[in-house]
Chain A
């Protein structure tokens, strides 16, 4: 089986005129064509093509160092592309950067707060710099403080004395002062406790549903992409390796999976060989072997019998639903989470 990426929205304009036409089409909030960024020898973002329809929550999933932040920085005009083009809300990120900034809300991975200022001061200043007049800016600040649940904090408290979760929520509020049409969130919940994470998710959903904000979200958490995003692109080493709705992506590798863990990688390899006749869709990573089936429960006896014949005893056997991590493994040959096996013991791609 060969992996196929997205099943829709893959049509990307080729000529400049066609690109311009696509970019100005109000139905697409973000259009990226062949966008590339080099840092010396390192190709951080490698000719990425991408379209995000208006009103969508788009999840950009990938491990650390995959190029997620570099892409976000280019789309939000604070990093110049090496080559390629991109538009946000129809404005070119290079030639119309000021217009892009006016319509885009951005919360980067690194929180940017002045420790000597209070939440209200930061919100009001941010709103004023977005051209909102003083009285309205004060109203916006109060509203956003309520939105991110910081209204009850001592108004004189400077942000230097805020907790990590509070700082993250305030940072998100700062991205919203001008009611952006497109919201960029770069790993918005990394390092947050589950309660704060859930609060951010709720707020992102609400913004998308009630205010029609298009959301471009990067994450290294499968669950986040799975639960929040309408569509997901998986990025690895600067390239998009898979693209589609979470359900579509998971369907490409089978409906159910049998996961086996062995004592060592050698046994896993033997098992991989022994179980080859059962299914073409297998993935091996270190001591772990995953087999994908349309209906896994039916084949478990077969799996056990063949392992027994081969003299192999798994330490663990479990049935599971394929996750985006399985999609990631299939597309890149490495695990997204708990990736201690990535690299040295590259899995054999079943085909």
Chain B
């Protein structure tokens, strides 16, 4: 446990020393919130759409910020690998898991701050939550877990490629994850057959659904359980992959 606290604290400190790295992902969130809310809010007037469009689009802003922010964890690992500091950490008796997950958890913590910022912004724009502050807190928890899941993916790619450019390219998975989903309109409104299938397969859809149910519909068990189940499964998968890749990387490389 102590190893985790040490590596998380170090990663947070490093993140604070390079604010320029955090700004793009915050900017993406803000962009989504402002531009799509301004441009698409008319959608909420369509028959069959209930609730505000702000509550509908906020999860997209949060999740896109989460994905961008989580990419930071991958970049942090790449930085350590390229500087040789990663090996210095491996030479300590500290738990391997702490060395890999430290930057990931730190990335997710940064993400929580981002999410709080975005929610405050949305609130200023007139956001209402059907489940109150408690629902918003759960939205933040979901965002944290989703950030961890994507951080695991970013860390996996970082350890696998060991190149900043390749790991950066890997974060382009961001686009299908965010956009092949119920990004702008509810599933019923999607007429394209393939997009409907993609949206059903895409785990992001269930995160959107869970967050939207909290903001728009009130407490509902099904979307919440599905959202958490999918997120946890995804996080476990990518976290496991990252750890496996780390074990492999430390054994095979010169």
Q: Residues of A within 8 Å of B, CB-based: how many? A: 33
Please state if B253 and A79 are interface contacts (CB–CB under 8 Å). yes
Please state if A69 and B254 are interface contacts (CB–CB under 8 Å). yes
Please state if A113 and B84 are interface contacts (CB–CB under 8 Å). yes
A36 CB → nearest B CB, Å: 15
Partner of A108, one of B79, B84, B250: B84
A248 CB → nearest B CB, Å: 32
B130 CB → nearest A CB, Å: 43
Q: Residues of B within 8 Å of A, CB-based: how many? A: 27
Please state if B85 and A113 are interface contacts (CB–CB under 8 Å). yes
Please state if B254 and A114 are interface contacts (CB–CB under 8 Å). no
Partner of A114, one of B80, B91, B253: B80
Identity of the chain B residue whose Cβ is nearest the Cβ of A104 in the assembled complex: B91
Please state if A76 and B85 are interface contacts (CB–CB under 8 Å). no
**Does B14 interact with chain A (Cβ within 8 Å)?**
yes
Binary flags per residue of B1-22, CB closer than 8 Å to A gives 1, else 0? 0110010001001100110000
Write out the residue numbers on chain B whose beta carbons fall within 8 Å of the beta carbon of A104.
91
Please state if A129 and B3 are interface contacts (CB–CB under 8 Å). yes
B124 CB → nearest A CB, Å: 34
Indicate the member of B6, B17, B18, B92 with the most A CB atoms within 10 Å: B92
**Does B87 interact with chain A (Cβ within 8 Å)?**
yes
Please state if A116 and B14 are interface contacts (CB–CB under 8 Å). yes
Write out the residue numbers on chain A whose beta carbons fall within 8 Å of the beta carbon of B254.
39, 44, 69-70, 73, 79
Write out the residue numbers on chain B whose beta carbons fall within 8 Å of the beta carbon of A114.
14, 79-80, 83, 85
A35 CB → nearest B CB, Å: 15
Identity of the chain A residue whose Cβ is nearest the Cβ of B6 in the assembled complex: A128
Question: Which residues of chain B (177-210) have a CB below 8 Å from chain A?
Answer: none
Question: Which residues of chain B (63-121) have a CB below 8 Å from chain A?
Answer: 79-80, 83-94
Question: Which residues of chain B (130-184) have a CB below 8 Å from chain A?
Answer: none
**Assembly CA distance A249 to B147 (angstroms):** 60
Please state if A78 and B87 are interface contacts (CB–CB under 8 Å). yes
Write out the residue numbers on chain A whose beta carbons fall within 8 Å of the beta carbon of B6.
125, 128-129
**Does A174 interact with chain B (Cβ within 8 Å)?**
yes
**Does A120 interact with chain B (Cβ within 8 Å)?**
no
Please state if B93 and A116 are interface contacts (CB–CB under 8 Å). no
Please state if B14 and A110 are interface contacts (CB–CB under 8 Å). no
**Does A112 interact with chain B (Cβ within 8 Å)?**
yes
Please state if A129 and B83 are interface contacts (CB–CB under 8 Å). no
Please state if B85 and A78 are interface contacts (CB–CB under 8 Å). no
With A78-B250, A125-B6, A129-B6: A101-B83 Cβ-Cβ less than 8 Å: no
Question: Which residues of chain A (69-109) have a CB below 8 Å from chain B?
Answer: 69-70, 73, 76-80, 98-99, 101-102, 104, 106, 108
Please state if A78 and B84 are interface contacts (CB–CB under 8 Å). no
Identity of the chain A residue whose Cβ is nearest the Cβ of B14 in the assembled complex: A116
**Does A115 interact with chain B (Cβ within 8 Å)?**
yes
**Does A130 interact with chain B (Cβ within 8 Å)?**
yes
Identity of the chain B residue whose Cβ is nearest the Cβ of A131 in the assembled complex: B93
Please state if B84 and A129 are interface contacts (CB–CB under 8 Å). no
Please state if A129 and B89 are interface contacts (CB–CB under 8 Å). yes
Write out the residue numbers on chain B whose beta carbons fall within 8 Å of the beta carbon of A99.
93
Please state if A112 and B253 are interface contacts (CB–CB under 8 Å). no
**Does A126 interact with chain B (Cβ within 8 Å)?**
yes
**Assembly CA distance A126 to B87 (angstroms):** 12
With A112-B87, A114-B14, A117-B14: A101-B250 Cβ-Cβ less than 8 Å: no
Please state if B17 and A116 are interface contacts (CB–CB under 8 Å). yes
**Assembly CA distance A98 to B2 (angstroms):** 16
Identity of the chain A residue whose Cβ is nearest the Cβ of B84 in the assembled complex: A112
Please state if B84 and A111 are interface contacts (CB–CB under 8 Å). yes
**Assembly CA distance A111 to B6 (angstroms):** 21
Please state if B90 and A129 are interface contacts (CB–CB under 8 Å). no
**Assembly CA distance A152 to B84 (angstroms):** 25
Q: Which 6 residue pairs across A and B have the least CB separation, nearest first? A: A112-B84, A112-B88, A129-B92, A129-B94, A80-B251, A110-B84
17 inter-chain pairs at a CB distance below 8 angstroms, sorted by A residue, are A39-B254, A76-B91, A78-B87, A78-B90, A79-B250, A79-B251, A80-B252, A101-B91, A102-B93, A106-B91, A112-B83, A114-B14, A116-B14, A125-B10, A128-B2, A129-B3, A129-B93
With A102-B93, A128-B6, A130-B92 already in contact, 13 other A-B pairs whose C-beta atoms are closer than 8 Å: A73-B254, A77-B91, A80-B251, A80-B252, A104-B91, A111-B84, A112-B85, A113-B85, A117-B10, A117-B14, A121-B13, A129-B94, A174-B88
